[in-house]
Structure 1
Amino acid sequence: MRALLSTFSLQELRHHPWRNASAVVAVMLGVALAFAVHLINASALAEFSSAVSSVNGQPDVELRARQGPLDDALLARVAAHPGVALASPVLEDPVQALARDGERLGAKLVGVDALVVAGLSPALMPVTDGENTTRRFDLFAPDTVFLNAAAQQAFAGQTTVRLQNGAVLRVAGRVNAPGAPLLVMDVAAAQALMDRVGQLSRIDLRLASGARASEVLAALDLPPNVIAQRPEQSGERVSNLSRAYRVNLTVLALVALFTGAFLVFSVLSLSVARRQPQFALLGVLGLSSRERLRLVLAESALLGLLGSALGIALGTALAALALRLLGGDLGGGYFSGVAPPLLWSPLAATVYLLLGVVAALVGGWWPAQATARLAPALALKGLGAPPRPGARRHTLALALVLLAAAMAWAPPVAGIPLAAYVSVGLLLVGGIAALPLGVGWLLDRIAPRVARHALPVLAVERARRLRETAAVATSGVVASLALSVALTVMVASFRDSVTHWLDAVLPAQLYVRSVGSGAGDGSHLPTGFVTAVAGVPGVARVDTLRATPVQLAPERPAIALLTRPLERTTGGTLSLPLVGNPLPAPAVPEGEQRVVTVYVSEAMVDLYGARPGSWLPALAQAFAEPQVRGTRFFVAGVWRDYARQHGSVVMDRADFVRLTGDARVNDLALHLAEGADENAVRERIRALAEAQGAANAIEFASVGQIRANSLRIFDRSFAVTVWLQAVAIGIGLFGVAASFSAQVLARRREFGLLAHLGLTRSQILGVVALEGLAWTVLGALAGLALGLAVSLVLVHVVNPQSFHWTMDLVLPWARLLALCAAVVVAGTLTAWLAGQAAASRDAVRAVKEDW
């Protein structure tokens, strides 16, 4: 019996390859996209983590400052402790180097002590060129530099490297560190070169045998602004930095697989309906309902296995191509500059293979249940199956929607909105389960309006009487269109919010920034230059900006401390895009601790609990200056910051300078005088910079350029979602084509009878096209309604829980209606093309099959 059933399933797949191919292709595309995104992210993350691990080495403990540089006076005290076997000082600074053609190339300058670095970070150990022993002193020379492989490729053929500050360094050898371009030199030489004498980025420690890190750190009694961390926490920070982006991309890729499950459901439902007499005969011959259930599930598993196997192969090819052409970035900017090799994982391939099979099994479950409920005797007599409990199904659909609404309120799990994703899935399943009810309600109101027109009556009445079939055929379109509508609304809302945010944070017409300031706080504008810019003709006012990374927690990425003038506008509002109204700072009695008002981004509320009206004690520990530790930082408000996902704090510049005595700045915002020519002001400032020897240390950007670059980065980040939407819509339309192809082949007798009654071939095609129009219109309306519901979850739950920022809901009606219209036109055309084959058959022969 088992061999007979296997033969029965294989013959069905063999004799109807095109219809079953649609389900296989849907599963294949879903698995391929999801697996490709996983491979790209895993490869990029592994390469980036490997590079960080190689550069940072494998010390037992790393000492870093929470904010700013580390005082190298700490090195001698740490190295002298008996529990410390090795102490390696490291200075890291992002720099801009000039290639031969004058192009600026970003790199990282790393200063190390060649006498101890090999014991802790062997990848950073400089290796001199040649065998001449006198070249060994190049390790300590103040004008020599050693390049890693990426830097050697970037400066191919150059014997010297010129930095943006005018320094010229001689290439004396190489280092074996992987990753982005590195320029390695002696730490003392690097301190002098970058004007950072007495400063370090970190101290790597190798403990003596038997020494415990907790005991050594307690004995060292480190200052409060020094943080000790395990080396693996650097990898954790890298992973946390891009985790939300990677998870969301993976979920979006699984959208195609989710749509493929509905297509398997559609194909198998129609296949089961067409083969009802065969299943009835098998039932009469002794095949039990459980065995019929397993038979259909075996067919769905076979479709899923075939599609998944092809998807793994296609996904591997797509990932390899994307890594070669685009690197591991995928638009997010987290792995910029990294072009990693493909990291293929058998375990991941097995997981995604099983996901595809599970999706196919889920899609085949309901058709299998229908087969199990079949009454063989009634089906053989042509009396069909017993009526399905529609009311119970509609109750289940409503319950799923209510459960989805409840799940949307659940908190994230480990920073990932798992409940929100489940809510989206339940919304889609519940909405599609209620499709027959919506189809019947709408067609009951359309039918009286077309009663006088023969062809529309035929199309509408058939869809009306067979609403279950209509719901099955359009389920793929509804799922794919709903998700596409939701993603369109989410992206439009995000882009509109970012546009308004840029208007608020870019009030000036022209901006001057220090070269390399985007990578940290290692580059500043010369103090004399900043003072002189205010006197340039055409400049009405100069606002300064300082961005400093601050490490509040060792396992999380650093937050940004922004210091800028916080002035209220003429209307009394603060010049920040605040969420809500700011709170006044509490009054402090004379002689008590000083209070400084700060404003935090939305991410600080979620990650650190810094709510308005609370205090931020961790910020005081980040400063080395003792006077800051007697200061309390009051959170007066929350502001939207779409540029820094992991948190930022804004402090008035006057407060920062008063507390630290540090008046250095990274950027200048220039408010031009009325009628001033922007280009003329640029030339005057450029001439001023050349006169002060800072021409290579500054760069200009107009507000229009910054806006355009920001929006271009935004569009690049969401380019992948556009392709995923297109694939999901394509799969949905493929499902409509498969459904109509199966139905028109099964309706040959009906078309033959219509031809005998006098309908022409074009009229029969018109009926099929009108049915396709009716069904895709219903699918478009249902998909639009479901998509708008899902978009509420994406905008108000998924994004705040994933990226810790909020946005205003925007409905781009023109784009949404165009999307729905395109689906309706494509679905109607697909139905018309599917009807060509059946309508072209000989009418007499088709009718004779029923005699």
Structure 2
Amino acid sequence: MMGKMAWRSVRQHPVRFGMSVIVVVLGIAFVTGTFSLRAMMSSTFGNIVDSAYAGQAYVRGTLVDESAAANSMMDPAAGRTKVPMDLATSIDAIDGVDVAIPDVSGTLILIKADGTAAAAGGSPTLALGLDPRDPTLKLGAGKRPSGPDEIALDTETLERTALQVGSKTQIIVGGQLKDVTVSGELQFGTASAGANLVGLDLDTATQYFAPDGTVSLISVFSSSPEADTVAAVTSALAGDGVEVVAGQTVRDESTASVETMLGFVSTFLLVFALVALVVGGFIIANTFTMIVRQRLREIAVLRAIGASPVQVFASVVGQAAIVGLIGSALGIGGGVALVYGLRAVMGNFGMNLSGEVPLDVSTVVIAIVTGVAVCVISAAIPARQGSRVAPVDAMRESVSIKEKALRLRGILGGLLMVAGVAAVVASTRVDSGGSLLGAGGAALLVGLLVVAPAITRPVTRLLALPLKHWSRPIGPLAADNVMRNPRRTAATAGALMIGLALVGAASVLAASAEKSVASLVDTGFKADFVVVSADYMAGVPGEVVDKLAAAPGVAGADPLYYSFFDVDGESGQVLAFDRTLVQDSIETTVISGSLDGFTGDGALVLEDVAKDKGWQVGTRIPVSVLDASNQPVEETVKIAAIIDAGSLGGAVFVTTDWFTANVPASSRIIDSVYIRAEAGTDLTALRAELTEVVKPYVVLTVMDKDDLTTYIADQIQQVLVILYALLGLSIVIAILGIVNTLALSIMERTREIGLLRAVGMGRLQLSGVVVAESILISVFGAIGGLAVGVGVASAMPSVFDTSGFDQLAIPWGALGAMIGLAAIVGLVAAIWPAVRAARLPVLDALSYE
């Protein structure tokens, strides 16, 4: 019987439960969308893997770097030695082998029809050596490229670049600019997920990417079963120091690397989904608290006719479960629709995803269980309060639940906040205080949510002072209504507190990061200009350095190289440069030793790294570099000086001479070039000259100190926009919570509204009261959340100062705008409840029970 009553109550009062359903829909749509997005991405990359590694067997080198192999992305030869290309000829002769094709590939920069670089800074441009014997090679229009002056492009790349078969364009490969003609269209039968694919003549590709005659992989195609093919090739190549693996093994390894990456992405997104659901939990709890209060007499009647407390509890929880089921079902559909929409948007930006958007049983179960659990848990406390109504209350004119005093809650919340503040302060005074800072921030936010009902009245009185003074009787009535039920107000504002605490922290973090970067550039940048590449993996072409150095008015051009290899057993990025870079282009403080020793195998080490490692001047550091064949070569470098150079990334720096002698050309990348002008040179004219030098290379940009600061700040802002977008859902849910609370509050106060209208209050005045209530709640939540977020984020520069993040900047203007925006949000959220209140017929309202 109680189950039927629960369903009937939900069905007959859609307004009461509608917002809760919407909250669940939004949260579950985020959860379902995350799982479906991962499944679609997995399907897309699975198709790419199946297409790229369609062979029956693969020949690769021996494993020399387990870390590189484990962290690779769709590269079954990562961390392995290279294999001689001419092994393919030997494999061709094996019985049962149709063809063996060496994988000659690399990266280059492709110029689009509009003269800009294809996907600079985005998806890579991959160059493939095309073997006419390759059974996976399919050609659409045109012909295969022949010679170094022709290229072929896949269908999607042709569309993205607006090039056509026969178009003339340019590529940058091996640091050189080449004029080429598009000779044909490649067809791979699957989406490339945004990557641009460029086909080259095999001999040309070999010249660019395998000049030493070694490759990372040889594909073996055979009509025989995989196991037989692997056995035959293994037997024929015994003693050649290579590994032969089945095609399925390669596909499985590549797929596993993709799944690892997608796991990180989905976990990141699920964190924001969890935030949205937690915020939604506040709204649902508030909704059921108000609904239980409105049904107290009905519940008392049920108790009087024999319903037990357990049955009453089950009835309320049953309503919550129904809301969860309905919201979850709609949210599942919304999540799938969201992914389809996202796929269409990404396709418009050139990242076509061919994978299906599956909706498996596990996703449905997780979504439904999550939605129902959030609703049931949120409604548990209101249900427990309702179950305590005594049967005798059915005979009373009015029934109410006795509220507990807020003193204990205020004390507990205050203690939590004190503990949070103590943890935040302590985090600034210990090494590696990040975890302590996070714990302190969490304690502060939870403490604020706990103490919020106890501080609602004094804070509201303060916030309402302007309204009380300038807007009578609207201001006093609105303030009294907000303070009437501090628990309800705190719960409604709490949802906004969570979202804006995170937004406020992100804003301070971004502003502080921008200020830290500006400080580093201002104090550490001594050069007049720096040339950077929009394509990080391609870097600055080597031939450009000489052209820049030869430009009139240039006193020096200092290239900054980078590569990845092991230093003291740890893999990481290592920078290389000449001594002039740290003497004349980048501000450097020598802590011990001398820059004079930075020659040959000399090395520079940052002060913090030297302290952590226990290194001193003269210490020899072991390094392991992979040669052109990916064979590890053990070397050592000698610390010449320990320095402080905040604008330099990395930890250990080597000389250009040592770098070029020990690191193969294919692994050497020029990150940037620092330009110093001759004394008395017109910098404006010099910049124009340098711009002309780099203009043909498209991806290169000449920057001065201000440009560099702005460039880095723009990148920080892009990350901030993504965070704002992900946190936006929690803000939307908080807004719905305000709407919901006001709407239910108006139902609860129907008779009171009728009395106000009867004694002369106009509709506009009544609407103004509702709007003022909404604004007070919104601003209360915004101020509380921003206070916590800003407070915690303000400690970050002290905690992470060794990482170069040492400047605190509080964007007061942006924070003020957020509070103003919160007021506008309150205004918008109040529109429907205010209209509803104003339209209540006076006589009906007076007779409302």
- Establish whether TM, by shorter chain, passes 0.5: yes
Kept in 1, the 8 Å contact 2:564–2:574? The answer is yes
Measured in 1, the distance between the counterparts of 2:196 and 2:504 equals: 42
Among 563, 566, 574, the alignment partner of 1:548 is 563
Which residue does the alignment assign to 2:485?
A: 466
User: Per-residue CA shift, 1:778-797, capped at 9, x if unaligned?
Assistant: 33332233433564799999
| Residues 179-258 of structure 1: pairs in structure 2 closer than 5 A | 179=192, 180-185=195-200, 187-192=202-207, 194=208, 197-198=211-212, 200-204=214-218, 234=254, 247-258=267-278
Matched, 1:480 2:481: no
1:668 matched to 2:686? The reply is no
In structure 2, do the counterparts of structure 1 residues 390 and 220 end up closer, same or farther at CA, with 3 Å as the change threshold?
farther
In structure 2, the residue matched to 1:32 is 29
| Alpha-carbon distance in structure 2 between the residues aligned to 1:771 and 1:841 | 18
Query: How far has the Cα of 1:436 moved from its partner?
Result: 1.2
| Closer, same or farther: CA 473–674 of 1 in aligned 2, 3 Å | same
Q: How does 1:416-565 map to 2 (within 5 A)?
A: 428-442=445-459, 458-500=477-519, 508-512=527-531, 518-520=536-538, 524-526=541-543, 530-531=545-546, 533-550=548-565, 559-565=572-578
- Distance of aligned partners of 1:339 and 1:540 in 2 relative to their CA distance in 1, 3 Å threshold: farther
- Percent identity between matched residues is 20
Deviation at 1:451, TM superposition (A): 10
Question: Cα offset for 1:396?
Answer: 6.0
Matching residue's letter, 1:22 = M
How far apart, in 2, do the equivalents of 1:27 and 1:619 lie? 54
Give the aligned partner of residue 388 of structure 1: 404
CA 1:617/1:36 → structure 2, altered by over 3 Å: closer, same or farther? farther
Aligned counterpart, 1:149: 155
Decide whether aligned partners of structure 1 residues 170 and 787 sit closer, same or farther in structure 2, where only a CA change above 3 A counts: closer
1:811-822 to structure 2, matched below 5 A, reads 811-822=810-821
Which residue of the other structure, out of 171, 180, 186, is the alignment partner of 2:183? 171
Alignment-derived partner of residue 629 in structure 1: 634
In structure 1, how many angstroms separate the alpha carbons of the residues matched to 2:593 and 2:524? 23
How many angstroms apart in 2 are the aligned matches of 1:418 and 1:42?
A: 32
Q: Which of 643, 650, 654 does residue 651 from structure 1 map onto? A: 654
Aligned to 1:701: 702
| CA drift at 1:273 | 0.9
Q: Distance in 2 between matches of 1:199 and 1:298?
A: 71
- Would you say the 8 A contact 2:83–2:214 is kept in 1? no
Contact 1:552–1:622 (CA<8 Å) still a contact in 2? Answer: no
Change (3 A) 1:90 1:423: farther
Task: Give SS of 2:340's match.
Answer: helix
TM-score scaled by length of structure 1:
0.74
| 2:565–2:625 contact (8 Å) kept in structure 1 | no
Q: Which moved more, 1:358-367 or 1:170-179?
A: 170-179
* Amino acid corresponding to residue 328 of structure 2 in structure 1: S
- Which whole-Å CA distance do the structure 2 matches of 1:45 and 1:709 have between them? 33
**TM-score, normalised by the number of residues in structure 2:** 0.75
- Aligned residue runs from structure 1 range 334-345, under 5 A: 337-341=351-355, 343-345=357-359
- Contact 1:601 1:641 survives alignment (8 Å): no
Q: Which amino acid aligns with 1:198?
A: D
Question: Helix, strand or coil for the counterpart of 1:518?
Answer: coil
Partner of 2:126: 108
Deviates more, 1:105-114 or 1:365-374: 105-114
- 1:354 partner amino acid: V
CA distance 1:766–1:512, change in 2 (3 Å): closer
Distance in structure 2 (CA, Å) of the matches to 1:147 and 1:573: 41
Q: 1:728 to 1:437 in 2, by over 3 A?
A: same
AA aligned opposite 2:537: A
| 8 Å contact from structure 1 (residues 328, 339) kept in 2 | no
Q: Indicate conservation of the 8 Å contact 1:642/1:805, yes or no.
A: no
Partner in structure 1 of residue 293 of structure 2? 273
Shift of 1:544: 0.9
Structure-2 change in CA distance of 1:77 and 1:752 (3 Å): closer
- The answer for the alignment partner of 1:747 in structure 2 is 749
* Residue segments in structure 2 that go unaligned for 5+ positions in a row: 69-77, 120-124, 172-176, 221-226, 244-248, 428-433
- Cα RMSD, aligned residues only: 5.5
How far does residue 547 in structure 1 lie from its aligned partner after superposition?
Answer: 3.1
Equivalent residue letter for 1:296: V
Note closer, same or farther for the CA distance 1:661–1:742 as it changes in structure 2 (3 Å cut).
closer
Q: Cα 1:426–1:168, aligned 2, differ >3 Å: closer, same or farther?
A: same
Could you tell me whether the CA contact under 8 Å between 1:513 and 1:667 is conserved in 2? Answer: yes
* Residue of structure 1 equivalent to 2:74: none
- Is the aligned partner of 1:17 residue 2:23? no
Give the secondary structure class of the aligned counterpart of 1:263: helix
2:717 maps to amino acid? D
| Secondary structure of residue in 2 paired with 1:547 | strand
What CA distance in whole angstroms lies between the structure 2 residues aligned with 1:757 and 1:686?
76
Q: 1:596 aligns with which of 603, 617, 639?
A: 603
| 1:364 aligns with one of 379, 399, 411 | 379
The Cα shift of 1:29 comes to 2.2
Aligned partner of 1:620 in structure 2 is 624
With over 3 angstroms needed to count, the CA separation of the structure-2 counterparts of 1:471 and 1:682, relative to structure 1, is: closer
Deviation string 1:144-169 (CA, Å, 9 cap, x unpaired) is: 65543334545764147654333546
CA–CA distance in 2 between the matches of 1:548 and 1:70? 17
Alignment of 1:786-825 (within 5 A): 786-788=788-790, 791=793, 808-825=807-824
Alpha-carbon distance change, 477 to 210 in structure 1, aligned in 2, over 3 angstroms:
closer
In the alignment, the residues of structure 1 paired with residue 241 and residue 482 of structure 2 have an alpha-carbon distance, to the nearest angstrom, of 79
Shift of 1:400: 6.8
Answer yes or no: is the 8 Å Cα contact 1:90–1:187 preserved in 2: no
**What's the counterpart of residue 737 of structure 2?**
735
Q: Distance in 1 between matches of 2:266 and 2:804?
A: 17
Q: Is the 8 A contact 1:524 1:666 kept in 2?
A: no
SS of residue paired to 2:29:
helix
Kindly provide the amino acid, as one letter, of the partner of residue 735 in structure 1: G
Alpha-carbon distance between aligned partners in 2 of 1:371 and 1:481, rounded to the nearest angstrom: 32
**CA distance, structure 1, for counterparts of residue 759 and residue 113 of structure 2:** 83
Q: Does 2:303 correspond to 1:283?
A: yes
Taking the aligned partners of 1:175 and 1:65, their CA distance within structure 2 comes to 35
Say if 1:47 and 1:340, in contact at 8 Å, map to a contact too: yes
Q: Which runs of 5+ in 1 are unaligned?
A: 224-228, 330-335, 411-416
Partner SS state of residue 108, structure 2: strand
SS at match of 2:673: strand
* Structure 2 counterpart of 1:702, one-letter code: M
Q: Distance in 2 between matches of 1:702 and 1:574?
A: 15
Change (3 A) 1:387 1:33: closer
User: Judging changes above 3 Å, is the alpha-carbon distance between structure 1 residues 773 and 697 closer, same or farther for their aligned structure 2 residues?
Assistant: closer
Cα separation, 2, equivalents of 1:376 and 1:640: 73
Conserved? CA contact 2:499–2:731, under 8 Å: yes
Indicate how the Cα distance of structure 1 residues 284 and 308 shifts in structure 2: closer, same or farther if over 3 A, else same: same
Given the superposition, is the C-alpha separation of residues 76 and 371 from structure 1 closer, same or farther in structure 2, using an over 3 Å criterion? same
SS at the partner of 1:343? coil
Equivalents in 1 of 2:805, 2:257: separation in Å? Answer: 23
Alignment partner, residue 321 of structure 1? 341
Alpha carbons 1:48, 1:338 under 8 Å: kept: no
- 1:620 aligned counterpart, secondary structure: strand
Change (3 A) 1:833 1:173: closer
